[in-house]
Amino acid sequence: MLKKAILAVLLTCMLSSCGIYSFSGTSIQPDVKSITINYFEYKALKVNPNLSNELTEAVRNQFRKMTSLEQLDMDGDLEITGEITGYDVKATAITAGDQAAQNRLTITVKVSFVNRKHPEDDFTNKSFSGYSDFDATNSLDAVESTLVTEIIEKLVDDIFNATVAQW
């Protein structure tokens, strides 16, 4: 019993002493209080008119859910800027008759991250890519919203992890 109590006290001290661990998996320094998440500009050739809004809001929501950072329109301690650079559909599986059996929607974004309190964490134009496959008998229009939702989830996780979880 005494060993368990000592272990619990030591564990508590270790976790609180570093000041940057959280159970959400983030490693945000204690002096970082705010974040600015800029609108993700759309620069891909194939147009998806809602993607910029959906991705920007998904990133903002992730930071709202997973951190206690105050979101500011400008001059946050952290700042994320991004652009959608790719939105492509390509065949991934071909049948014997040279027909596409499966297609893949891929979305690529470039992200820059600024940490005004700890500039050693900054990165510029880091590329993130996510994809989802769909049966070629379906048109992209029929499955696009579902695919985009899946891909955005992956991209948001990757961006979040690269910026504040530093994975």
Higher-confidence residue of 62 and 10: namely 62
- Is 161 within the bounds of a domain? yes
Report d(CA 62, CA 59) in Å as an integer.
Answer: 5
Residue 46 belongs to a domain: yes
pLDDT at 2 over 90: no
Query: Phi and psi (nearest 5°) for 65?
Result: -70, -40
Give a yes or no: residue 25 inside a domain: no
Distance CA 61, CA 8 (A): 34
Q: Which residues of 11-20 are buried (b: 16+ CB within 10 A; e: fewer)?
A: eeeeeeeeee
> Range of 71's domain?
30-165
pLDDT at 23 over 70: no
Residue 158 covered by a domain: yes
Query: Does residue 85 lie within any of the structural domains?
Result: yes
Cβ atoms of residues 165 and 158 within 8 Å:
no
What confidence tier does 165 reach under pLDDT thresholds 50, 70, 90? confident
Helix axes 51-66, 140-160, angle to 10 degrees: 40
Cα–Cα distance, 158 to 24 (Å, whole number): 14
* Mean pLDDT, rounded, of the chain: 86
pLDDT of residue 96: 65
| Residue of higher predicted confidence among 99 and 1 | 99
CA distance 35 to 117: 11
Q: Is the pLDDT of residue 112 over 90?
A: yes
Higher pLDDT, 91 or 39: 39
Whether residue 109 lies inside any domain: the answer is: yes
Of the chain, the percentage scoring pLDDT greater than 90 comes to 72
Instruction: Answer yes or no: is 10 within a domain.
Output: no
Nearest CA among 32, 114, 34 for reference residue 70: 34
pLDDT at 166 over 90: no
Q: State the total domains in the chain.
A: 1
- What would the two tokens of residue 111 be? 């992200």
Does 66 map to a domain? yes
CATH number of the domain within which 138 lies:
3.30.160.150
The more confident residue out of 82 and 8 is 82
> What's the average model confidence in pLDDT over 59-80?
97
Q: Quick check: 72 pLDDT over 90?
A: yes
